Structure 1
Amino acid sequence: MIAQRLRVAAYAVCTRDEHVLLARFVSADSSACHWTLPGGGVEHAEDPYDAVVREVAEETGYQVRVEHLLGVHSRTRYVPLGAADAAELHMLAIYYRVRITGGDLRHETGGSTDRAQWTPLASVAELERSVVVDAGLALHRGLPPSGHVPPIEMSELLRH
């Protein structure tokens, strides 16, 4: 049986001096990791605007101010639920451009990420990363009036 699930998340695109702020996601069993934008799931009844501010603080130590809604990116994938079940997971990501207003860079402890760092924009394509990074940077660079970017073509370095 294939169930349908929806995950809404809010992500921050924060740049300075040709660098982007990234966080390293670690799987629940610590068997895999990849880079992503600071951000994550919107909690029940939480405004995505508030969620992105909360997530950046949790994952990087920075306090931020939202400057601009960049857009929305949608993708789906199948995830196993058990021996015979799977779910089609619909991931709806909302992207904001943010500016740092306080705090100091630090790594998250006890969360879904274990490291935060400023990465040269020119080096991002060489990283094992979430498609979240590519979609967010495409929205940031292009600022499409529709707030939409076409689907991101998956490659060996991209993770859902």
Structure 2
Amino acid sequence: MDEEPRQSYSDAYAARHGGFALIPAAHVFLTSGDRVLLQRRCGTDYYDGWWAASAAGHVEPGESAYDAAVRETAEELGVAVGRLRPLTTVHRRGPGPVDRAPEQRVDFYFQAVDWEGEPRPSDGTADALEWFDLRELPEHTVHHERHVLELLEAGSLPVITDFGF
């Protein structure tokens, strides 16, 4: 049996159904026991000076979230991930201009089960790496990432969650 070709949405269909873009990103937490490695962001114009996931970045066109997580970890930390464990997917809404709908994002969170190499800031988006106890996260931890880490520490991390709605 021949399979029908996949269809895409027309511009008119998309305009009738909201016309917004959903931006995907992959986040990776390197953990050791009850500790998590966080990076202090710099030079990005987004949460600079705040602590964030061990590695994170946008999913590139044609790339899976898993592959993006592996790539971002290599680029940002200089380590090769052996295996990632999915933690949760967060659908979030960010603040936006009053004249249009806020942007929406979907973040895929992973925990590095094993990796090779010594993590170090590698791509200029972080000026420090530090291990923190999950019960004692720094004050300036990126809001939606803190949300995930607090749920992880509490043992109540759902498969899908939302933030900012």
Structure 1 runs (4+) deviating above 4 angstroms are 84-87
CA distance in 2, matches of 1:66, 1:23: 20
CA distance in 2, matches of 1:25, 1:54: 18
Q: Matched residues, percent identical?
A: 28
| Equivalent residue in structure 1 for 2:112, among 82, 91, 98 | 98
Structure 2 residue 35 is the aligned partner of structure 1 residue 23: no
| Count of residue pairs the alignment pairs up | 146
CA distance in 1, matches of 2:25, 2:45: 21
> What's the CA shift string for 1:67-99, capped at 9, x where partnerless?
42111111112345xxx9656211111111212
Structure 2 residue 84 is the aligned partner of structure 1 residue 70: no
Kindly indicate whether the alpha-carbon contact (under 8 Å) linking 2:41 and 2:51 is maintained by their aligned counterparts in 1. Answer: yes
Mark the structure with the bigger radius of gyration: 2
CA distance in 1, matches of 2:163, 2:101: 20
Give 3-state SS (helix, strand or coil) of 1:105's partner: coil
Higher strand share: 1
Give 3-state SS (helix, strand or coil) of 2:66's partner: helix
Superposed CA RMSD in Å reads: 3.0
* Unmatched tracts of structure 2, length 5 or more: 1-18
CA distance in 1, matches of 2:108, 2:46: 26
Report what 2:131 is aligned to. Answer: 118
CA distance in 2, matches of 1:66, 1:86: 40
- TM-score with structure 2 setting the length: 0.71
> What's the CA shift string for 1:20-63, capped at 9, x where partnerless?
01112225359942111121111111111011111112222222
Kindly indicate whether the alpha-carbon contact (under 8 Å) linking 2:29 and 2:36 is maintained by their aligned counterparts in 1. Answer: yes
- TM-score with structure 1 setting the length: 0.73
3-12 vs 33-42, greater mean Cα deviation = 3-12
> What's the CA shift string for 1:106-148, capped at 9, x where partnerless?
11233x3333222222320x3201123223324534354x503
Change (3 A) 1:65 1:76: same
